[in-house]
Amino acid sequence: MNSDSDLQIAGDILEVPHLLQAPREHPATVAEFAGLARSVAADRAEWEHLVRYDATARWYHRLRTGPGYEVWLLSWVPGQGSGRHDHGPSSGVWTVLDGTLTERTARGTRALRAGTQRVFAPGYVHEVVNDALEPAVSLHVYYPGLTEMPMYSPQCSAAAVLGADADAGAAPAR
């Protein structure tokens, strides 16, 4: 025996069908949705030429759809924000592609720079703002696709939204 292990593989391991998983055409797990967001973010040729900056309203563009999910591209000029909101029954992932965005929740404020990725659960309440002096771009993956975005008044107390603001990650703002 030439090995320190008692396990030996006889024959072609690739012929054992139950050990192989067919690649999925679409994501189905949180890790796969996060991977989708990372792969789209890394492929600047897919999205960079689509970005527009609008001083009067946040710009957004649906980049891709799949069974039950959507991928959105958003731009933020300095001063633009989403308002305090959640995403109803949708969960997902958002990634800052360019610039810096600020996320405000009942638990605090954090600056998110290019490359930062956040996962969010249904009902996560937050506000996203471009507090920087440069424009920003973000990518948002929603599952299921975004059907509602309840807004909350800024006067809403932290205690009132804390139940919906479990720190499961950050939510995108479209």
98-140 pLDDT, tens digit per residue, is 999 999 999 999 999 999 999 999 999 999 999 999 999 999 9
- 122 found inside a domain: yes
Percent of the chain with pLDDT over 70: 76
Residue 100 neighbours by CB distance under 10 Å: 17
- 106 found inside a domain: yes
- 170 found inside a domain: no
pTM of the model: 0.77
Show the tokens assigned to 142. Answer: 């929603």
Read off the CATH number of the domain in which 115 is found.
2.60.120.10
- 8 found inside a domain: no
How many domains does the chain fold into? 1
Range of the structural domain that residue 39 is part of: 25-162
- 40 found inside a domain: yes
